[in-house]
Amino acid sequence: MTHFWSSLFFSQIGTKQWRYYDFGPKVVTPLICLPGTAGTADVYYKQIMCLSMKGYRVISVDIPCVWNHQEWIQSFEKFLDAIDVHHIHLYGTSLGGFLAQLFAQHRPRRVKSLILSNTFLETRSFAAAMPWAPFVSWTPSFLLKRYVLTGIRDGPHEPFIADSVDFVVSQVETLSRDELASRLTLTVDSASVKPLLLSDSFITIMDTNDYSAIPQQLKDQLSERYPGARRAYLKTGGDFPFLSRPDEVNLHLQLHLRRVGLEAQPELVQSIPKDGTGGGPSKENDKEDRDDEQKDNGGNPESNSDESQPSPSAPESSESHGLDEQLLSNAEIHYIDQKDSIILKPSAMSMNQHSAAAGILLQSTWEFFIFSLLPLYVDSLYIYSNNAWKLRQLV
């Protein structure tokens, strides 16, 4: 029986704190998961458990507080250097998919492949829909949360999609004002993805066909940009298919990784230490990691031509959903810096989702009242700044 291990890390790299999960054999080139505006590293726990048990290395990260796209590229590269990862496969959804493309554009030698889900190429339409974008960094936390939550489609949903929405809502409640403000700034700050050096054959576009917060026009633009990319369509799944349709998403992720030449190494899972330190960064495996990366270049991108048809998967039961959360709740938490590691007590990724949703519902009445005053708030700031400028002119 294989041993399941997990580690949560907080790493201070320069002025940025990175919170991330690192699972799986370190000699394998990792798949790094980037969440959307409302997500955290926790939302990919079903991919982490499935793929790491099969012998893949999976790293799921929180987007740190960065305030422009160039800062994101530099900060993410420093993060990879700090954990001794030289080449990566990126899986990004929504904002995470956009940031993944930007990194692949500016650091092409480090990105081996891309999996893009419900994402976009440019931010112009989001900036047009948010006229108060210049005041994001001054906006109170509860108004930012309210704005983010309005982008999540309200019910009715089928049970598994409803569960995924509840989970993401609970994650939004854990985000600080600066985290929310910085992510919204990245969404509306003017930028677009230029043509990539990465071949389309190393890109998979995975979208849901029912609905998404990303307009269909933007998803069509993405498909037109990468005409040779593999298509992976899910009939349903909403905005968070990695939670609501994990079996199908995990299957497409495995097919993609095999297609680009990265094979799982399940035999290495048996050798993971039982103290939970198997997922942590280590410099001694650097040579093996590079050898594996050279082997990774030998994949045949033209194989598996019939992979564009998603394979059917059995519906996940509620018992399985609860078991997944129970397994991940036994994770050991590690606080690390660039020099040492301290193992703390076992911790649970166990925020009560339904309680969080109920709390939001109870506050919705007064929050809506205050949110309706936001235009007046913005107008008052404008009038104040305008009068202050006139006063300075008179003086």
Residue 383 or 168, more confident:
168
- Cα 216-169-140 angle, rounded to 5 deg: 95
Per DSSP, 45 falls in state: H
Average the pLDDT over 169-183 and give the result: 95
Residue 236's SS3 state is coil
Q: How many CA atoms lie within 13 A of 207 on its CB side?
A: 21
Task: Judge contact between 9 and 336, C-beta under 8 A.
Answer: yes
In this predicted model, what pLDDT tens digit does every residue of 353-395 receive, in sequence order? Answer: 444 444 434 444 344 444 454 455 545 555 545 555 554 555 4
Q: Which of residues 47 and 127 earns the better pLDDT score?
A: 47
Eight-class DSSP state of 267: G
Reported as a single tens digit per residue, the pLDDT across 50-107 is 999 999 999 999 999 999 999 999 999 999 999 999 999 999 999 999 999 999 999 9
- Asked whether the predicted pLDDT for residue 344 surpasses 70, the reply is no
Q: Render 296-310 in DSSP notation, one character per residue.
A: HTT--TT--GGGGSP
Say whether pLDDT at 128 is over 50: yes
Mean pLDDT (the chain) is 76
Classify domain 8-268 at the CATH topology level.
Rossmann fold (3.40.50)
At 138 the pLDDT is 87
State yes or no: pLDDT of 167 exceeds 50.
yes
Top pLDDT among 57 and 321 is at 57
pLDDT over 80 at 261, yes or no: yes
The answer, yes or no, to whether residue 267 has pLDDT greater than 60, is: yes
Residue 216 has pLDDT above 70, yes or no: yes
| Residue 156, preceding peptide bond in cis (omega within 30° of 0) | yes
